[in-house]
Copies of this chain bind each other. A is one copy, B any other.
Amino acid sequence: MKNANLIIACPKGRLESKIVSMLKRKGLEFERDFFNESSRKLTFNTNFKNIKIIKLKPSDIRAYTMLGAADIGFVGYDDILENSDNNIVLLNKTKIGKCRLSIASNKKKIDFAEKKIFKVATKFKNITEKYFEEKNIQIEIIKLNGSIELAVKYGVADLIVDLVESGQTLKQNHLFENIIINNNISTVSISSYYAYDLKKDLIKKLII
């Protein structure tokens, strides 16, 4: 009965402790090695014999969940918006990592009539293309992987599309948050349809 096991993928790093606390509130206890940074264990036990935990880089959790290596994964809602996949079941939206996805620039107000094509730097190519296409505004995407907020200063983009939490990073880089594209980003729990179908009862008990 291998399928009776439920594997939860927990993201390493910034949001790890918050997700662990949330799982604890649901009644899960983690084996001590989980909190030992130097442990080379891959799978950690919990107080439930059939529930195991794995730790992954946040950006790999969606892939591992889709591929069946995890039954429940925690990812940013932005990850789901950007990489929509028919095989994803969105289980629950948490209040962890709340932020918004916004357009920012070095101007208080963007005048979209000012240019024919706007250069937009972002990690979120698909969301950005979709947004501007719907608004009928021509853009060229500058796909970056980090420090998006530098792109305007360095002159490679007119606008950026990025996650905004407190707004401090924008302020420090003299950028204005012009338009909120999505005000409702936070960590969500996901499953694949395959795992959900097979382990619905256990998943529902734990997550919802």
- Name the CB-closest residue of B to A59: B145
7 CB-based A-B contacts, threshold 8 Å: A42-B150, A42-B153, A54-B154, A57-B147, A60-B146, A60-B147, A64-B156
Smallest CB separation, A120 vs chain B (Å): 13
Considering residues A56, A64, A67, A154, which has the most beta carbons from chain B within 10 angstroms of its beta carbon? A154
State in angstroms the CA–CA spacing of A154 and B43 once bound together. 9
Q: Which of A138-156 contact B (CB under 8 A)?
A: 142-147, 150, 153-156
Instruction: Verify B156–A57 contact, CB threshold 8 A.
Output: no
Instruction: Let me know if A179 is at the binding interface, CB within 8 A.
Output: no
Instruction: Let me know if A14 is at the binding interface, CB within 8 A.
Output: no
Q: Which of A3-60 contact B (CB under 8 A)?
A: 40, 42, 54, 56-57, 59-60
Instruction: Verify B150–A67 contact, CB threshold 8 A.
Output: no
Instruction: Verify A172–B40 contact, CB threshold 8 A.
Output: yes
Instruction: Let me know if A69 is at the binding interface, CB within 8 A.
Output: yes
Chain A: residues with CB nearer than 8 A to chain B? 40, 42, 54, 56-57, 59-60, 63-64, 67-69, 142-147, 150, 153-156, 172
State in angstroms the CA–CA spacing of A150 and B146 once bound together. 24
Contacts of A145 in B (CB 8 A): 57, 59-60
Contacts of A54 in B (CB 8 A): 154
Given A60-B144, A60-B146, A145-B60, answer yes or no on A155-B69 (Cβ-Cβ < 8 Å). Answer: yes
State in angstroms the CA–CA spacing of A63 and B141 once bound together. 11
The one of B57, B153, B154 that contacts A146, using a Cβ cutoff of 8 Å:
B57
Q: A63-B142, A63-B144 are in contact. List 10 more A-B contacts (CB 8 A).
A: A42-B153, A42-B154, A57-B145, A57-B147, A59-B146, A63-B156, A64-B154, A67-B142, A67-B156, A69-B154
